[in-house]
Every structure is written in structure tokens, then in C-alpha cells.
Chain A
Amino acid sequence: MDLLRFITCGSVDDGKSTLIGRLLYDSESVSLDVLAALEKRQASNGTVDLALLTDGLRAEREQGITIDVAYKYFTTPRRKFIITDAPGHVQYTRNMVTGASNADLAIVLVDARQGVIEQTRRHTLIAALLGIRHFVLAVNKMDLVGYDEAVFAKIATDYAELTNHFNLPAAVAIPLSALQGDNVVTRSTHLPWYTGPSLLEHLESVPGTQERADEPRFQVQYVIRPQTAELPDYRGYAGQIQSGEYRRGDRVLVLPSGLESEIEALEVSQQEVESAAAPQAVVIRLRDDVDVSRGDSIVPLGQQPTITRELEATLCWMSEQPLWPGRKLLVQHHSTLVKAAIPAILYKVNVQTFAKGAAESAQLNDIVRVRIKTALPLAVDTYQDNRVSGSFILVDELSGDTVAAGLVEAANSEYFTAPVAPPVAFSI
């Protein structure tokens, strides 16, 4: 059985929480006591409000909105699903970015009465920016437009124009009613003109979570040194294979130092193996006694990422304090933490149009392109090439808060030609 992680995005009243509630309810993933708690709250009008299945915090129940990213789980005989429910409001763009960062598929929800609106564009572009390649256009509330095929067709066409215009992957459009349960889990007789799959049928048949990049990437998280009588000299580099495959005997480089060695042994769950691949957690042992510490990358010779202290990146700014050029921050590139400065904000991206606009600063929820200089070199790929080695976060040095999500767009590789490598990045 495999896994699919998906995000649901839609505007405030598109019925997103109801849709998730319906998926859980009709796939029999809701237990009796949880239903009883729901019914207790809805005794007055008799119907169960399925949205309450996802709105977990008191303020959310009081205001009838979703404030924070919620995670829900359900399993069918075919697949385990992890649902990320991200709020629709403009001010919660950062939560949408957070949810999209881990998703394989996005369900973009629209209200059949409203069609494609500004929020739809924004959600679609953000999901695409974060590298999601599978889209479902869920046209909800079909019951409120009399299950009219023409309404659905118009919306599907409008949305296809949007994806064509931005050269995005084509979406699968499904007409449904989360409230009535039409086409969510079971196909509905209310929509005889629609011959495609129900939403769940589609979710069960799209490719599940899989690794995309082939280039082998691995970062050391922790060095295992038992220093016992039996294993006095054991040094194992523990980490998760971020992409690609590693084999015993591979000639490798340790980055950013550039030292060369060979994989003497690969261990998975305390067993030596001939090869291992992403996303496995492994221990790598090298033949030579080279200096390796947390945050270093180990990659096969000839397949190096860019080693750089200067990069261009797209940021989603997530802090209430705006970003001004010149700001000093920390870059956390997975297991590496380095000091960095942002000398320039190049432009701001309009998330309705992808148009570039001038920007002096970045405000909460802005998407901006910036130049970043780091105190020590990083081993990166572009986000386009590798969703793992091309991603990072920015951390405020004083508060420790995560203030931005970063996507590497371009890296200056000049550094790699430098003759002498400086010491490795300090580890966290």
C-alpha cells in the first residue's frame, strides 16, 4: 500500500472543511464517538456539520473558520492518505505555502456559483510554485446550480485557460457536492452527464508519493561514534537519502570541503545493504578518515550540486515584521545552519498574475525574489531540479522564528572553482 499527501485549497466559504469531512465520513473513517460529539453540537437543525471534523481549535469553531493547517488521515484498501487542510484567507498564505510544501497533489476547490475567482488563481499559482504537479479542480456546490452541466463546463474551461496561460500541469475537473455527498466518494446519480471518476476514485488512482529527482543527494544529520571496545573506530554518517540512489563502492565527494572518498558500507535498520534510495534513513561509512560533520553533503563524484555562497531565491515571507534589504538572518538548509544576509530584494511576484513588480520590502505573505549571501558555502540545487536540496527556511537569529520559506532559483557556482575550501558550516 502506498501513500498520497494532498492539500485542499479554496476560499473561505467554498466548503473545504465540509469536503474533507465528507471524504472521512463516506470512507467510514469517522468513529462513532467523534460523530456523537458532532451531533451534540448540531442537535437543533438535525444535520451533522461535517466541517467540524477539521476545525479543531476553539476560536475556529466559534468563528466557523480554519485558522491553522490541520492534518487528517484516512486509509482505503488501496492507499493511506495524509490531508493537509490549509486556510483560504489571504492572510494565511503562509499556511497554504506550508501545506503545499509537503503535498503531492492539490485539490483546488471552487464554488459552482462563483467559478474561478482571484483566490483560485492565487492558490493554484502558489501550489505550482511549491512544485505540485497533480491538480484536481473540485467544482463544489453543484446542488446549488441544479447540477447544470453547462455551469461545470464553463468553470472547467476557465480553469484550463488559467493553467495553459501559466504552463501548469492540466487539472482533472470533477463536479461534486460535498454537502450532499455527490461524487466525493461515490459517483452520483444527480450528475448523469458526468462519466469520470469520483474524487476518491481519482485520488486512489493518481501516482502516489514518489521521489522525483534522480541525482543522489544526502546530508549528514548526525555522526554515530560508539567508541566502545568492540567498535573503537566506527564512524557512521547518519542521514536520510534526499533523492536518488546510493551504492556500496560509490566514489563520493564530501561537500562543501570537496574531499573525496568511497562508500565502504551502507546500513539501513542496522543491516548492511548493497544499495539504498530516497527516502530511506541510512548510515554511510566512508573508506577514508576524512573530516565530515553534521550538515555536510555526501554525493557521487560527477553529480555534484552547486557549492555556493551566493544564490537567488524565491521567498514566501512569513513574518509580521517586514523584510528590508540588508537584513541579517540564518539560512537553515535542512541540517545546515549558516548566517546570511539579504543584500537585495529583486522584485515582488504578484500571486494573481505571476507578474514582477518593484518592491522595497517584503510584507507578511509576500512572494519575493531576493539575492542571498551566506557566510559559509551551501551545497544546493535549484528547486526546479530538486525539491529537497533546493529548499530552505530563513530563521530570525534572535527569536528563533521561521520567517520565510525559500526556493533556490539560481546559484552562483563560481565558488566551486576556488582552490582552497574553507572550514565546514557550523552545525546546529
Chain B
Amino acid sequence: MSTPHFDYLDRLEAEAIHILREVAGQFERPALLFSGGKDSIVLTRLAEKAFRPGRFPFPLVHVDTGHNFPEVLAYRDELAARLGEKLIVRKVEDTIKRQRLREPGGKYPSRNPLQTYTLLEVIEEFEFDACIGGARRDEEKARAKERIFSVRDEFGQWDPKRQRPELWNVYNGRIQKGENVRVFPISNWTELDVWRYIQRENIQLPDIYFGHERTCVVLPTGQLLGLSEHLRLDEDDEIVTRQVRFRTVGDSTCTAAVESDASTVEDIIQDLLLAKVSERGATRLDDNISEAGMEDRKRNGYF
């Protein structure tokens, strides 16, 4: 028998759909963590392929830092409406008030670390037993060691030494009360794979992923940070207007822009093939703090 040939994107897609369906089959109350970023947008396309013509067996959950890009929030609402799926939004702002947390200080106050608090609150509120996220192993060294089904204790903590072995494509989601599982269906995708898939599937993205003119502040590292009301500027800060795009879409206070006039997905793929700086390295201010930055945050419940 001649076997049909499958492209590597076909295989990554099939693997991700299989994982999403395992979540649907194994858990009572799963959720899809939706950030409005390209990875979680790809997850929604994969979920359509996994569950249509039925509804998604999980709501979309957005943890809103209050520092999000307005374009991304608009995109989020539009996508949820088009999909006809339930969207749950919980704000870091409210967690700060409720738990009397201290607002992050500094010039570029990132609420990224506080997202974990809100995430744990929303998990508790809805008793989610599985949270699907768009994290990829190529993003960072600690992520490279995480399982596709990652069991967390009731504080959301990741213990790298107690991970379950993950064999073949058998995913063990059995948990005890209070525990939950973080599930990463696109673990094996790289940034380039995600873009090639976006191209192949003709997926629409928020405009900020493409080259546009933006007023930015120049950081000491030379990185560009889009101007927003949340930044605390000094008089001698250098303000410039440049043609930029974003490679990742996180908290606007810790996600730097890269100079680019890429206006289409094809342009971006070309950019990436030439790019010499990794996605997180180019754009995340929070990982540079220490070499174990991500490992520490994951141990503390970050997804």
C-alpha cells in the first residue's frame, strides 16, 4: 500500500488536534487560556478543526493585565463573537485590589508576574481542571523540559523533578483534587512553524504583528518600547517614531517592538528566516533578569 505523504505542518497539526481532543475527553472543566497573541489564536483554529461542527468543550479565558494593546483586546472580542464561543475575562486590576497586592514599580511597570495571581484565582473560581496554553518549547530553556500535560499543585507550581514521563502520544491527565493540568498542544512548534501555519491557514491576526508606525521610547538596551500611559517617562528619555512590529504580544510595558516594515505574513517569514535574535530575547524584558527567570516563574505557577 502506498502511504500518503504528510508535510511536517500536517503532522504538527494532527498532534495538536489529538492533544486538544484528549483534553476534552479526560477533563470535566477545561479552559483555553487566550491572550490574543498569535499562539493562542492558532490554538483557536486548531480547536475549530478538533471540535466543529460542535461547540468548543471549553471557554476562552483571558487574563487582562490592564496593560494590553487596545488592538489586541478588540481582536479578542471580535474573534470570540465570530467563533460564537464563551469568553471569560478576569482583570489583574481586580486581583490587585482584592488581594491588596503591590503594583509593580519602576520605569516600565510590568504586570506579568501578577498575571499568575489572577490566573490562579480564575482557576479556583471556575474549578478548571485543565488549562490549555499556547506555550512552545522553543521559547526558552526551561520550557524545553516541560511536558505536554504538565501537572500543577493547587498553588499552580511546576516541579521539574516530579514530572510524569510522557510516552508515545499517551497523555496522562489523572489528577487529585486541587491539582490541575496545564496543557500545551503546540509544544513542538517553533516560531517559524507558527507563522507558516498562519500563512497556510490564512489566519487573520491583530494589526500590531505587522509593520506600522509607532512612537516608542528607546531603552538603554536599544530595544524599542511602544509609548503608553503606563510607562513612567523621564525628561531625558529618547522618544522616536519608527516603523515597527511586535513579535510577541504580552503586557505592553514589557513587550518590545522590533523595527520592521513587514506588511504581510510572507514578509514576516522572510524576516524570521533572516532574524538572528530569538523571539523572547528580542522582545521580553522580563526574562533577561536572570538566566533562570522562566524556571522560577513557572515553579511559582506561571504557565
Show the binding face of A for B, using Cβ within 8 Å.
Answer: 1-3, 31-34, 37, 41, 53-59, 61, 67-73, 75, 79-80, 82, 94-95, 97-98, 101-102, 209-211, 214, 221-222, 224-226, 228, 231, 234, 236, 238-240, 244-245, 269-270, 277, 279-281, 294, 318, 330, 332, 334-335, 337, 387-388, 391-393, 395, 399-402, 405, 427-428
User: Within 8 Å of chain A (Cβ to Cβ): is B282?
Assistant: yes
Q: Which of B11, B13, B137, B144 contacts A209 (CB 8 A)?
A: B11
User: Within 8 Å of chain A (Cβ to Cβ): is B270?
Assistant: no
Tell me whether B165 and A245 are in contact (CB under 8 A). Answer: no
Tell me whether B50 and A238 are in contact (CB under 8 A). Answer: yes
Given A33-B278, A332-B170: A400 touches B176 (CB 8 Å cut-off): yes
Give, as a whole number of angstroms, the nearest-CB distance from B282 to chain A. 7
Q: Which of B22-30, B35-43, B90-98, B229-237 contacts A (4 or more CB under 8 A)?
A: B22-30
* A405→B168 CA distance, assembly (Å): 9
Contact with A along B14-56 (1 / 0, CB 8 A): 1101100110111000000000000000000000111111110
Tell me whether A33 and B281 are in contact (CB under 8 A). Answer: yes
Tell me whether B164 and A402 are in contact (CB under 8 A). Answer: yes
Q: Which residues from chain B contact A3 at a C-beta distance below 8 Å? A: 8, 11-12
Tell me whether A240 and B53 are in contact (CB under 8 A). Answer: no
Tell me whether A226 and B53 are in contact (CB under 8 A). Answer: yes
Tell me whether A428 and B25 are in contact (CB under 8 A). Answer: yes
* A243→B165 CA distance, assembly (Å): 24
Q: Which residues from chain B contact A330 at a C-beta distance below 8 Å? A: 174
Q: Which residues from chain B contact A279 at a C-beta distance below 8 Å? A: 6, 11, 14-15
Tell me whether A73 and B138 are in contact (CB under 8 A). Answer: yes
User: Within 8 Å of chain A (Cβ to Cβ): is B104?
Assistant: no
Tell me whether A57 and B142 are in contact (CB under 8 A). Answer: yes
Q: Which of B69-77, B188-196, B209-217 contacts A (4 or more CB under 8 A)?
A: B188-196
Q: Which residues from chain B contact A58 at a C-beta distance below 8 Å? A: 292, 295
Q: Which residues from chain A contact B142 at a C-beta distance below 8 Å? A: 56-57
Tell me whether A222 and B172 are in contact (CB under 8 A). Answer: no
Chain B residue nearest in CB terms to A36: B281
Give, as a whole number of angstroms, the nearest-CB distance from A385 to chain B. 15
Given A98-B167, A270-B49: A31 touches B172 (CB 8 Å cut-off): no
* A242→B111 CA distance, assembly (Å): 43
Query: Other than the known A82-B188, A402-B165, what 4 A-B pairs have Cβ atoms closer than 8 Å?
Result: A2-B5, A98-B167, A270-B48, A391-B168
Q: List 15 A-B contacts (CB under 8 A).
A: A3-B12, A33-B281, A57-B295, A69-B145, A70-B144, A80-B193, A82-B188, A98-B165, A221-B18, A240-B21, A270-B53, A281-B17, A400-B151, A400-B175, A405-B167
Tell me whether A102 and B168 are in contact (CB under 8 A). Answer: yes
* A240→B171 CA distance, assembly (Å): 14
Tell me how many residues of B have a C-beta within 8 Å of chain A.
68
Tell me whether B55 and A226 are in contact (CB under 8 A). Answer: yes
* A57→B175 CA distance, assembly (Å): 25
User: Within 8 Å of chain A (Cβ to Cβ): is B289?
Assistant: no
Q: Which residues from chain B contact A211 at a C-beta distance below 8 Å? A: 3
User: Within 8 Å of chain A (Cβ to Cβ): is B10?
Assistant: yes
Give, as a whole number of angstroms, the nearest-CB distance from B4 to chain A. 5
Chain B residue nearest in CB terms to A397: B174
Query: How many CB-defined contacts (below 8 Å) exist between A and B?
Result: 188
Tell me whether B3 and A73 are in contact (CB under 8 A). Answer: no
Given A73-B188, A226-B54, A238-B50: A395 touches B174 (CB 8 Å cut-off): yes
Give, as a whole number of angstroms, the nearest-CB distance from A29 to chain B. 9
Q: Which residues from chain B contact A75 at a C-beta distance below 8 Å? A: 190, 192
Chain B residue nearest in CB terms to A79: B8
Q: Which of A55, A69, A393 contacts B170 (CB 8 A)?
A: A393
Tell me whether B167 and A240 are in contact (CB under 8 A). Answer: no
Tell me whether A67 and B161 are in contact (CB under 8 A). Answer: yes
User: Within 8 Å of chain A (Cβ to Cβ): is B121?
Assistant: no
Q: Which residues from chain A contact B277 at a C-beta distance below 8 Å? A: 31-33
Q: Which residues from chain B contact A221 at a C-beta distance below 8 Å? A: 18, 21-22, 24-25
Chain B residue nearest in CB terms to A2: B8
Chain B residue nearest in CB terms to A66: B145
* A240→B144 CA distance, assembly (Å): 25
Chain A residue nearest in CB terms to B11: A3
Identify the interface centre among A57, A61, A209, A210: most chain B CB within 10 Å of its CB: A57
Give, as a whole number of angstroms, the nearest-CB distance from A426 to chain B. 12
* A269→B144 CA distance, assembly (Å): 29
User: Within 8 Å of chain A (Cβ to Cβ): is B207?
Assistant: no
Q: Which residues from chain A contact B8 at a C-beta distance below 8 Å? A: 1-3, 79-80
User: Within 8 Å of chain A (Cβ to Cβ): is B253?
Assistant: no
Given A57-B160, A80-B8, A277-B4: A270 touches B54 (CB 8 Å cut-off): no
